[in-house]
Structure 1
Amino acid sequence: MKKRLFSLVLISAMVLSSLTACGGNKDKETKAPSETTAAAETTASAAATGDKILRVASEDPQVPLDMQLNTYSIIMKVTDNVTESLLTTNAEGKLEPTLLAEMPTLSEDKLTYSFTLKDGVKFHNDAPLTSADVKYSLERMVKKLKMSSLLEKVEGYEAFFNGEAEELTGIVVVDDTHFEIHMSEVYTPFLSALSTPYCAIYPAEACEAAGDNWGMTELYGTGPFKLVSYQTGVGVELAKNENYHGGDVKLDGIKYTFIDDPNTGVLEYQKGNIDVVYMDSALYPTYANGELKDELYSFNPYGGYYLSFNVKDIPEAKVREALTYAVDRKALCDSVLFGTASPASSFLQKGLLGAVDDAEQFDYNPEKAKELLAEAGYPDGYDLRITVNTKYPTSVTIGTAVQAQMKEAGINVEVEQVDSAAWTDMKKNGGVTCGIGNWYVDYNDPDSMLYPVSDGRTDLNSMFWHNDEFKQLMIDGVQTDDEAQRQEIYAKADDILTHKEFAVAMLYNETLFYLKKPYVTGFEVTSTYRTMFNNTDIEK
């Protein structure tokens, strides 16, 4: 899956609240067709006078509200309420049909999925949802999105991705409500991949006609809320979809106000101008025991931060093991990260298939690190360069803390700070000896978590690590649907990665926070960071 590394950008933007826009808004002033504008003005008026308008503070994406173009979580906060995928992963981590009448059926050879669309579903422009819209939307994702590799096991993907075919032949329209997806090989997480926001279904005719205006002045989905307006530098307004196929929507609308500074967002919340605000973890100590403590909520996204080692520069497993023991994870979580993270030594955390509760946890042991270095031929210490991307301040903070911790083990660390352009180039060319990475699942499956270190893709993380057994386990894991077997497969793969080969040194899993007014009910954020307000209500 060639380009899924951009999920790092997505989640880093979420955690650090410091997104630098990619793309632009040059078409912002372009007017939509007059009838669309009139409808939007009518809806906007209704939203403005509604009794239940949820006010949410959000960062300004400065790019189209289109998850098939930009994989930023700050876009997903909005589009999760406007557009929908065929399936959804619920808060319990289970798949359920959204735009489908029932869960898809799978052929005996596990290569053909058969789908039936839910009756009567319409887009916000009143166009009926059809199988042709599904085919158009998934093909559009392959053409435009960094995440298109989610469909790489679909028959005909390579030819379509490379521009050698005009359609993705594996997606076959049977009739308006039935379609099939044929796979080139067995891939059991496929339905989970279809539940991601990148696989949102758009009305083909309207999306194509909108061109660059899609996600700026026009965005039609099937979700519980309709886009009224989007203005960079200001915010987004959504209005209730009165004909939502999923049942009654309790809110009259949602108003997102763009506030990039975390402190300002909390201040506006305290003033009563905002109902929900996602809080920067650095602010947690200030409010954890204060007057807002009863309005502070948390969630744990699946994923976390780790040190990735370039095995061309650090070929000795014992050296990589020494570096693993030279990090004080507890101090990092308690002191540097204000108690908003928990130490981690395995890539798969509790809640994901493959996680092992009794796996060894690496305590800070500089003496053992020294012994391992001596065994590897470095009795007088070791020099290490850690490269960090200055776009993400958390990485700089971690690098500085690890520099001080490793000194106790005789490891002299140079923290090299580079901008995003240099970071990308250095990773591609193997110029990062040790990097600080983060990774979060796109869907609730261990394949999504272990993806960045899958064989053939490690160059993206400057690791250049290969292990035949690990590679085969990753293949086996997506070719069986037996949960017990998959648990064993992924547990073994994680053990090879983090406890035998030490290709990465996992550091911590995060806890993230948001403030919510007491009168806001029925709202939560899932571990895959989906933020949906269709069950939210305001009870004053």
Structure 2
Amino acid sequence: MKKKFILLGVLLALSLSACGSKGTEKADDKTAKTDSKAKTSIDTTGFLVTSINADIQTADPDKTSKDYMVPLNIFDRLVEVEVKDDGSSELVPSLAKSWDISEDGKVYTLHLQEGVKFSNGADFKSDDVVYSLTRMLGVTGAVNGDFVSQIEGADKVMDGSSKELSGVKAIDDYTVEITLSEPYAGFLACLSASPVCMLDKDTTEAAGDKFGIDPSVTVGTGAFKMAEWTVNDSIVLTKNDTYWGGDVSLPGVLIRVIPDSETRNMMFKNGELDILDFDFMIDYIDTYKKEMPDVLHHTPRVGVTYFTFNENIEPLNNVKVREAVCKAINRQEIIDSLMNGVATIENGIFPRGLIGYDSSLPEIKYDPDGAKALLAEAGYPNGFDMEISVDSSSSDTTKTVLEVIASQLNEVGINATIKNYDESTWLATRKDGTLGSFMSTWTADYNDPDNFIYTFFGNEKNTKQRSLNYPDKAVMDRVSAARTIVNADERMAEYDELEKKIVTEDFAWLPMFSKEHYYGVSKNIEGFKPNWAGISDMRFVGFSKK
């Protein structure tokens, strides 16, 4: 009991130090100033009003890896992700109304919606698909080519040796054939990813560098048009009257750029914002739970925070030692003390909300006595020295969690010390495979297990670049081969077995938790549905305002 009391004291002290001055902000401070008017020439009466905490760099989906709110609304993708009532998700048709996949899993024949028009009146046809996929790989400044790099000939477009993507062909105006360099069962999921947007070939080419910057030449088939962008103030989206996907209830969306958390909070309470995203203002959630619980909505982030083991560093190459570390870390106590109730323990590689998530995985239980016994069995009855690495640019919460982990490890005799790295050194050290244990988060880019397991355990290069140095080549070969399994049930069964092998037998990494993404939603808004992956950027089609 005495040790538990000491640990809880450490948790409390660290929690208070991490919150700093922000933890003392009062969410009900009526003196906070708000700036209720956007600098726009457009009448935004009746528009849904939301906010972002920093301005976007571009609305060009091929040239951003983080600003997707505008692209998600003014463009469409060939496939979309839909969340079902039970919280699970599935891929559904969008601009591709149906598709056929060859028996060998290499050829995808997409049948496009007919009669779809871009917001400038141009027809959407197969040539636009060929152009859009090619541009993703080859345009100057492209950052999202990996999503479609499985297409035959993608490597040549990416290295500049070819301007044509040989694996994509327009069979007729509404049929596109895509050939992959090898079977890849996650390809449809990649096509649903936020940046894989379909562009108007002629308009985009004519716009040049103005595309994504000048609203008048940034056109798509989406439910809204980009009407105006006032840098560091606001972005205005207006209803696309030619939208192919049905009636759009909202006349438009006003996206305000508001860096200050308290200003966003007061504007929501004053009715000046319809949606309040609690990203970067987690401290406010408890107040809303107590005072305004009826406006809160939350969804899984479809990401997992994990703790790593570098198996090139002794004694972390000993499975009993890794298991001991896992049993010594009290994940639930960390969640309860530091995460404001917005996290849930995960026990596998695939987080809740992802296709392939397995809720039946055994829990890695907190067991300090068992951890001590394992250390003794492994030949370390007095523990050992262990480095925990942290990027100095990490959030205060991450640093605090690591301090708590170090304290918990010390309780079983492991002398865990935290080493700070500047961001560039941390990344470089991780990439060369020599970084000590660390904690990080991986959030879904596309809705497929491969996006998680292949990234970390797909081959020796991947596991080295994550400083895991997982040594089981047979398992890595299975992870790589699983990408090519055409039968969905068979592939998911293989992922289940691989997940158990890596996590609960090899203890090759420790799943910590997944977070819930909280929003405040005005009672005037109906049809609210956040992005399936829990990212802040969302589609507003289907929303309405009273």
TM-score by length of 1: 0.86
Aligned to 1:59: 53
Equivalent-residue separation in structure 2 for 1:262 and 1:497 (angstroms) = 40
- Per-residue CA deviation, residues 433-466 of structure 1 (Å, 9 max, x unaligned), is 1121111222222112223212231233221224
CA deviation vs aligned residue, 1:77-102 (integer Å, no higher than 9, x gap): 232111111111112322222112x2
Q: Partners in 1 of 2:527 and 2:403 — Cα distance?
A: 41
Q: Deviations 1:123-150 (Å, cap 9, x if unpaired)?
A: 2222222222211211121234443222
Identity of aligned residues (%): 28
CA distance in structure 2 between the aligned counterparts of 1:269 and 1:49, rounded to whole angstroms: 17
Post-superposition Cα deviations, 1:127-186, rounded to whole Å, max 9, x if no partner, equal: 222222211211121234443222232112223323332222101122332221012221
Q: Aligned-pair distance for 1:535? A: 0.6
What corresponds to 1:82 in structure 2? 74
1:229 alignment partner, SS class: strand
1:337 deviation in Å? 0.5
> Secondary structure of the equivalent of 2:290?
coil
Over 3 Å counting, the alpha-carbon distance change for 1:66 and 1:396 in structure 2 is farther
Write the distance in 2 (CA, Å) between the matches of 1:131 and 1:166: 17
Find 1:138's aligned residue among 129, 133, 136.
133
Q: How far, CA to CA, are the matches of 1:364 and 1:264 in structure 2? A: 41
Q: 2:113 aligned with 1:113, yes or no?
A: no
Is 1:424 aligned with 2:418?
Answer: no
Alpha-carbon separation, structure 1, partners of 2:522 and 2:82:
23
* 2:358 aligned to which of 356, 359, 380: 356
Indicate conservation of the 8 Å contact 1:84/1:197, yes or no: no
Q: CA 1:261 to 1:372, structure 2 compared with 1: closer, same or farther past 3 Å?
A: farther
Q: Is the 8 A contact 1:311 1:465 kept in 2?
A: yes
3-state SS of 1:202 partner: coil
Question: Does residue 158 of structure 1 match 2:155?
Answer: yes
Deviation at 1:296, TM superposition (A): 0.8
State the shift of 1:385 in Å. 1.5
Residue 543 (structure 2) pairs with residue 536 (structure 1):
yes
* Gapped regions of structure 1 (runs ≥ 5): 1-15, 17-43
Conserved 8 A contact 1:297-1:514: yes
- Secondary structure of the 2:376 match is helix
Query: Does the aligned pair in 2 maintain the 1:470–1:493 contact within 8 Å?
Result: yes
Q: What's the C-alpha RMSD, in Å, of the aligned pairs?
A: 2.1
Q: CA deviation at 1:189?
A: 1.6
For the residue of structure 1 that corresponds to 2:136, the secondary structure is helix
Q: 1:377 to 1:209 in 2, by over 3 A?
A: farther
Paired letter, 2:235: V
1:386–1:67: structure 2 CA closer, same or farther, 3 Å change rule? farther
Which of 337, 340, 350 is the equivalent residue of 2:339?
A: 337
Q: How does 1:11-50 map to 2 (within 5 A)?
A: 47-50=42-45
TM normalised by structure 2 equals 0.85
Report if aligned partners of 2:350, 2:452 keep a CA contact under 8 Å in 1: yes
Matched to 2:132, the amino acid is S
Counterpart among 481, 499, 503 of residue 498 in structure 1: 503
Task: Tell me the residue number matched to 2:300.
Answer: 300
- 276-285 or 215-224: which moved more? 276-285
Determine the C-alpha separation between the residues in 1 that align with 2:144 and 2:377.
43
Partner of 1:463: 468
Q: Cα offset for 1:500? A: 1.6
TM-superposed deviation, 1:270:
1.0
Amino acid at match of 1:385: E
- Residue 452 of structure 2 aligns with which residue? 449
Identify the match of residue 94 of structure 1 among 90, 95, 112.
90
The structural deviation recorded for 1:383 is: 1.6
Alpha-carbon deviations, 1:298-353, whole Å to 9, x = none? 10121210012222123222222221112110011111111111112211234444
How far off its partner does 1:534 sit?
Answer: 1.0
Query: Please, which moves more after superposition, 269-278 or 159-168?
Result: 159-168
> Whole-Å Cα distance in 2 between the matches of residues 120 and 344 of structure 1?
45
- What residue is the counterpart of 2:483 in the other structure? 478
Distance 1:357 1:179 in 2: 38
Q: Could you tell me which of 388, 391, 395 is aligned with 2:390?
A: 388
What is the aligned length? Answer: 492
Runs of at least 4 residues off by over 4 Å: none
d(CA) in 1 for partners of 2:220 and 2:208? Answer: 16
- Aligned counterpart for 2:182 among listed residues 173, 180, 185: 185
- 1:513 aligns to what SS in structure 2? strand
Unaligned runs of 5+ in 2: 1-18, 20-39
- Whether contact under 8 Å (1:336, 1:401) holds in the other structure is no
Q: Contact 2:147–2:190 (CA<8 Å) still a contact in 1? A: yes
Q: Is the 8 A contact 2:335 2:341 kept in 1?
A: yes
Q: Which position in structure 1 is the counterpart of 2:118?
A: 123
8 A Cα contact 2:343 2:513, kept in partner: yes
Could you say if the C-alpha distance between residues 194 and 476 of structure 1 is closer, same or farther in structure 2, counting changes exceeding 3 Å? same
Instruction: Give the counterpart letter for 1:290 in structure 2.
Output: K
Matching residue's letter, 2:70: V
- Are residues 1:248 and 2:244 paired? no
